[in-house]
């Protein structure tokens, strides 16, 4: 039977991790997969997480099952950070834990499909796994341009997609720090987006995987909140992979906004059933550590300070790139206006290969770079290599 399966190529981005690890060159630069790196090139465990993990070891008295919704203390503790002071919007929002942001996106798409969603409009380029998840579920994707050539949002295309979406259609947006372009909508653009959702009746699905890595925890949630204030229903997929540095521990959450308690309960009974059939229950450890941080003022402060330092370092890298201006045929100035881990460079696949082979610089074939892979020690070499390869 198994011989009938078509071989699949490994995920290109994840394959890059192994390629980079196998490269013996001492001055190699990893701008591939989206993990934060320090000025020393490390991805350490947050000190706040270490502290919370120690408390878990000391105090956790059972690892008995929790249920498909996972750790509801974690789910609820995150809510004010995402949704603001009125964290449930008067009882209209509820959530559950998922295995990473990917689990949340998968659950959002599967539940939308079960509720009758026919098509999902999605800005491109997007995180490649979005299309893989939707394709795997058989949900039709209607692509629209997210980015203009000048490195800002193609807001007309975004608004056009929302306005053209029918009642049984959704629109998938990134809450902040767009992956892969780094292009955030401005507050004015978010206001237009919120109005467009209100007018069209399209169903918003907002993937928020980088809160706090862009302009700040509150700022990065502002657009999402503007949309939720205007619509009756929405799904929110949330990841703690980056803003708590929990990548391999798979810490995420899925939230539903609904216009009434009865519909919210009904939607959740379906989300629970889908989770049970998919992964039964999410892994506990990372979410429990995040819960401990968010319930302790000193740990919360420690976490925020670490997040602030990450954001400041990425801003320093972006400012330095922007100040370099043109490198060969690549204008680095837009990177200074973009946010988060990622930006796209207008380079060909051949130029990406040459950067890897001749300069030991690793980036996704799409031209996406993870700016956190750059340091004050390697950034000049990177800029020179871009100039050489594209000049
Ligand atoms: C990335 O885009 O690099 C990260 O979100 C990791 C992943 O799972 O693709």
Q: Is the pLDDT of residue 11 over 90?
A: no
275 Cα: distance to centroid of ligand 1 (angstroms): 22
Q: What is the mean pLDDT of residues 47-60?
A: 98
For residues 254 and 236, is the Cβ–Cβ distance under 8 A? yes
Instruction: For residue 163, give both structure tokens.
Output: 């306005």
Closest CA to 99 of 292, 289, 288, 279: 279
Task: Please report where in the chains the tokens 């394959």 appear, as a residue.
Answer: 15
179 C-beta closer than 6 A to ligand 1: yes
Q: What is the mean pLDDT of residues 314-330?
A: 98
210 C-beta closer than 6 A to ligand 1: no
For residues 166 and 143, is the Cβ–Cβ distance under 8 A? no
* Alpha carbon separation from 187 to 38, 142, 220, 221, 296 (Å, rounded): 30, 25, 10, 11, 31
**Which residue is catalytic, options 154, 242, 249, 303?**
242
**Which residue is catalytic, options 30, 71, 184, 207?**
207
Q: Burial letters for 128-157: b for 16+ Cβ neighbours within 10 Å, e otherwise?
A: bbbeebbeeeebeeeebbbbeeebbbbbeb
261 is an active site residue: no
Give residue-wise pLDDT tens across range 111-163.
999 999 989 999 999 999 999 999 999 999 999 999 999 999 999 999 999 99
**Which residue is catalytic, options 127, 241, 249, 284?**
127
**DSSP string computed for 342-363:** EEE----HHHHHHHHHHH-EE-
Closest CA to 206 of 273, 122, 147: 122
Q: Is the pLDDT of residue 12 over 90?
A: no
Confidence (pLDDT) at 137: 97
Q: Is the pLDDT of residue 53 over 90?
A: yes
Q: CA-to-CA distance for 130 and 143, rounded, in angstroms?
A: 12
34 C-beta closer than 6 A to ligand 1: yes
202 C-beta closer than 6 A to ligand 1: no
Q: CA-to-CA distance for 185 and 180, rounded, in angstroms?
A: 14
Q: Is the pLDDT of residue 167 over 90?
A: no
For residues 138 and 114, is the Cβ–Cβ distance under 8 A? no
Mean of pLDDT over the chain = 97
13 C-beta closer than 6 A to ligand 1: yes
Q: Is the peptide bond before 173 cis (omega within 30 degrees of 0)?
A: no
71 Cα: distance to centroid of ligand 1 (angstroms): 24
Q: Is the pLDDT of residue 184 over 90?
A: yes
Q: CA-to-CA distance for 348 and 368, rounded, in angstroms?
A: 11
Percentage of the chain exceeding pLDDT 70: 100
329 Cα: distance to centroid of ligand 1 (angstroms): 27
Nearest residue (by CA) to ligand 1, atom 1, is 34
| Dihedral sign (CA 221, 227, 229, 233) | negative
Q: With cut-offs at 50, 70 and 90, classify the pLDDT of residue 219.
A: very high
277 Cα: distance to centroid of ligand 1 (angstroms): 25
Q: Is the pLDDT of residue 349 over 90?
A: yes
Of 179, 343, 364, best ligand 1 pocket probe by most atoms within 8 Å of the beta carbon: 179
Q: With cut-offs at 50, 70 and 90, classify the pLDDT of residue 273.
A: very high
Q: Which atom of ligand 1 is nearest to the CA of 241?
A: 5
**DSSP string computed for 27-66:** T-EE--S-----TTS--PPPHHHHHHHHHHHHH-------
Confidence (pLDDT) at 9: 85
Q: CA-to-CA distance for 248 and 243, rounded, in angstroms?
A: 13
Percentage of the chain exceeding pLDDT 90: 97
Q: What is the mean pLDDT of residues 319-333?
A: 97
Closest CA to 140 of 156, 123, 122, 157: 122
Confidence (pLDDT) at 211: 98
Of 34, 176, 241, best ligand 1 pocket probe by most atoms within 8 Å of the beta carbon: 34
Q: Is the pLDDT of residue 83 over 90?
A: yes
Nearest residue (by CA) to ligand 1, atom 6, is 34
Confidence (pLDDT) at 19: 93
Task: Please report where in the chains the tokens 């058989």 appear, as a residue.
Answer: 138
Q: CA-to-CA distance for 311 and 76, rounded, in angstroms?
A: 25
Domains of the chain, start order = 11-45+312-390 (3.90.1150.10), 65-295 (3.40.640.10)
Q: CA-to-CA distance for 212 and 192, rounded, in angstroms?
A: 23
């Amino acid at each position: 039977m198994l011989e009938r399966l078509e071989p699949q190529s490994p995920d290109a981005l994840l394959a890059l991790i192994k390629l980079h690890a196998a490269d013996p060159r001492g001055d190699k630069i990893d701008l591939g997969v989206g993990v934060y790196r320090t000025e020393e090139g490390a991805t350490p465990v947050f000190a706040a997480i270490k502290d919370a993990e120690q408390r878990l070891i000391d105090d956790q008295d059972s690892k008995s099952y929790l249920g498909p919704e996972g750790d509801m203390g974690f789910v609820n503790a995150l809510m004010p950070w995402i949704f603001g002071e009125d964290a449930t919007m008067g009882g209209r929002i509820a959530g559950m834990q998922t295995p990473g942001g990917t689990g949340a996106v998968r659950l959002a798409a599967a539940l939308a499909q079960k509720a009758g969603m026919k098509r999902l409009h999605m800005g491109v380029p997007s995180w490649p796994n979005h299309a893989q998840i939707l394709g795997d579920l058989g949900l039709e994707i209607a692509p629209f341009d997210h980015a203009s050539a000048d490195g800002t949002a193609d807001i007309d295309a975004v608004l056009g997609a929302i306005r053209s979406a029918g009642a049984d259609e959704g629109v998938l947006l990134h809450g902040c720090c767009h992956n892969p372009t780094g292009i955030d909508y401005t507050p004015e653009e978010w206001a237009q987006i919120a109005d467009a959702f209100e007018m069209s009746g399209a169903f918003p699905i907002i993937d928020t995987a980088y809160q706090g890595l862009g302009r700040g925890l509150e700022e990065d949630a502002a657009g999402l909140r503007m949309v939720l204030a205007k619509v009756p229903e929405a799904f929110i997929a949330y990841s703690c992979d980056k803003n708590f540095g929990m990548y391999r521990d798979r810490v995420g959450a899925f939230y539903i906004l609904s216009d009434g308690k009865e519909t919210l309960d009904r939607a959740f009974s379906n989300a629970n059933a889908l989770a049970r059939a998919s992964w039964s229950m999410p892994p506990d450890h990372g979410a429990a550590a995040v819960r401990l941080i968010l319930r302790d003022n000193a740990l919360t402060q420690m976490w925020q300070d670490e997040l602030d330092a990450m954001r400041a370092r990425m801003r320093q890298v972006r400012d330095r790139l922007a100040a370099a201006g043109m490198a060969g045929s690549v204008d680095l100035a837009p990177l200074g206006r973009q946010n988060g881990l990622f930006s796209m460079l207008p380079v060909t696949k051949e130029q990406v290969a040459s950067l890897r082979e001749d300069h030991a610089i690793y980036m996704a074939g799409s031209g996406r770079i993870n700016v956190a892979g750059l340091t004050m020690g390697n950034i000049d070499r990177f800029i020179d290599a871009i100039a050489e390869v594209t000049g």
